[in-house]
Amino acid sequence: MTGVRVEEGGLWVEAPGLALSSTVDGGLRRVKGAVFRQVRGRATCGEMEAGAYPDYLNFYTAVDVERRHAVVSGGWVDVVATAGLGNTINVLAVMRIEPDARALADAFRLAAEAKAVAACDLGIRRGGRRVGGDVSDAVAVVATGGAAKRYVGLGTDVGEELYRLVREAVVKALGDLGVDWELRQNLGVGYGDLLNAAMEIYSRAPVPGAGDVGKAVKEMLDAYLADPNVWAFIYAAGELDAKAAAGCHRGLTAEEHAGDSKKIIADEALGVALAQYINGFKAVEMMYWIDREKPGPLADLPMYADDVAAALLAGVLSRLYDKLIYGV
């Protein structure tokens, strides 16, 4: 296991060997290891280079590296990652193999791919499209000595382990993404947006004498957002919109997707299925009302997300009316 310690405000990794990295002091060189450091405030690349420890790879991030890091180990590879939402994902892979520039290049390519796949699996989006990380991410691989390995891509023992551990470390370092963040990534609206939209719709047809229903709306929304079946519809909308926005939805161009082409009816079918799941035909009828009204941010949502968001709100509100009017 590679030596890892927290000291002097940084996360230090002792791993002497030949490194290939994209850090501010990157390239191909021999190092004693790496240090992950938190940057408070703004810092230029020149300032970070000037402040770098010369014998170590220097990773910089705005997140608390002591709290937001993960270390995972295997027989051939140890991986250290730091990550924060809307922030830098940094990855270091230490391999117990003979230093070889060709193998390092293969491993660097694979580590970058695994980091990007982890970001996609987590649902990270920019402009509605999948992205493999943030603008300031850094990746490094270090060979500390051991068996001679020319190839370390997928299909090799070292490569398979490296890929699996990099992905695992990034996911662990990010931790719980939070409901609001996942909603924003997959539907394009946050938790508060949904609550506000629900209250706006309710205000157009309030139940006489019901008083303040905000607490009841929140409790119902929380209950449905704790249901993995509801999330299945939310994830489906996010994936379909991301694929279509990238121009990879067979039979649908990116322009048609952006224009909410009427030749697609699967978006409504997805919404209807979610509405029925929550509260049957009453929710379906309300879904069409909400979709027509498009309160608040719903008007700006992409093709699949707007119907699923409308269905979720319809389920919550139709259940609310059942409770207020019929007591069920």
CATH of the domain at 255: 1.10.3760.10
Q: Per-residue pLDDT for 135 more than 90?
A: no
pTM of the shown model: 0.84
Q: Is there a single domain that holds both residue 125 and residue 186? A: no
Phi then psi dihedrals of residue 127, to 5 deg: 65, 30
122: which DSSP letter? T
Q: Is there a single domain that holds both residue 133 and residue 276? A: no
Q: Is there a single domain that holds both residue 102 and residue 193? A: no
Q: What's the CA gap between 87 and 95, in Å, rounded?
A: 26
Q: What's the CA gap between 63 and 36, in Å, rounded?
A: 10
Question: Domain end: 140, 157, 174, which one?
Answer: 174
Whole-number pLDDT of residue 222: 96
In DSSP terms, which residues pair with 96 in a beta bridge?
Answer: none
| Total structural domains within the chain | 2
* Tens digit of each residue's pLDDT (9 = 90 or more) over 280-326: 999 999 999 998 888 888 889 999 999 999 999 999 999 999 998 88
Q: Is there a single domain that holds both residue 126 and residue 185? A: no
Q: How far is CA 190 from the centre of its chain?
A: 14
Q: Per-residue pLDDT for 50 more than 80?
A: no
Q: Is there a single domain that holds both residue 141 and residue 193? A: no
Structure tokens at 193: 């947006």
Higher pLDDT, 125 or 193: 193
Q: What's the CA gap between 163 and 139, in Å, rounded?
A: 13
Q: Is there a single domain that holds both residue 162 and residue 57? A: yes
Mean pLDDT for 183-206 is 93
Where do the H-state alpha helices sit in the chain? 45-50, 101-121, 157-174, 179-186, 191-204, 214-224, 228-245, 254-258, 266-293, 303-321
Q: Is there a single domain that holds both residue 207 and residue 166? A: no
Max intra-chain CA distance, the chain: 78
Whole-number pLDDT of residue 162: 97
Q: Is there a single domain that holds both residue 24 and residue 69? A: yes
Q: Is there a single domain that holds both residue 26 and residue 154? A: yes
**Is-contact 160 111, C-beta < 8 A?**
no
Q: How far is CA 268 from the centre of its chain?
A: 26
Across all residues in the chain, what is the average pLDDT?
91
Mean pLDDT for 193-209 is 91
Q: With bands split at pLDDT 50, 70 and 90, how would you rate the model's confidence at 1?
A: low
* Tens digit of each residue's pLDDT (9 = 90 or more) over 62-117: 888 888 889 999 999 999 999 876 668 999 999 999 999 999 999 999 999 999 99
Whole-number pLDDT of residue 124: 84
Question: Domain end: 144, 174, 204, which one?
Answer: 174
For residue 190, the number of C-alpha atoms closer than 13 Å in the C-beta half-sphere is: 5
**Region of poorest pLDDT, from 44-53, 93-102, 197-206, 318-327:** 44-53
Q: Is there a single domain that holds both residue 138 and residue 196? A: no
**Is-contact 27 20, C-beta < 8 A?**
yes
Question: Domain end: 136, 156, 174, which one?
Answer: 174
Please give the residue range of the domain that contains residue 151: 3-174
Q: What's the CA gap between 309 and 195, in Å, rounded?
A: 11
Q: Is there a single domain that holds both residue 267 and residue 119? A: no
Q: Is there a single domain that holds both residue 162 and residue 212? A: no
